Amino acid sequence: MPTDLVNLPSIQLRKVNEHAGIHYRGMRDAIMQSGPLDANTCELILIGCFAARGCERSFRVHALRGLKAGMPKEVLEQVVMIPMGAASPLADVTKALTWLDEVVAEHAAGA
């Protein structure tokens, strides 16, 4: 399944309710810029959260962004595995690792 970078959830929200979509995006941007963490660290946190919650679509989008930003696969694998035993069961972690393998292959193919 190719990662859809066009119909993101925030864009879908904006199509249904433009006001809510704009404010949601503004809130997310404000949070990302509100502290000392750099963009890559914020991206890694999001990737870990999406993996832990089983949010495949968002995980794929952000993992692909990470790869495009030059993050090594091994870094993304560690981010997926860190919550194991604390917030994510093994089955969810291995599922996210499978998604990651698929995104890495997609990225290598030129996505």
In 3-state terms, what secondary structure has residue 29?
A: helix
Q: Which residues contact 65 (CB under 8 A, 6 or more apart)?
A: 43
DSSP secondary structure code for residue 6 in this structure: S
Per-residue pLDDT reduced to its tens digit, 24-60: 999 999 999 999 999 999 999 999 999 999 999 999 9
Per-residue pLDDT reduced to its tens digit, 81-100: 999 999 999 999 999 999 99
Rounded Cα gap, residues 8 and 90, in angstroms? 28
Rounded Cα gap, residues 78 and 35, in angstroms? 23
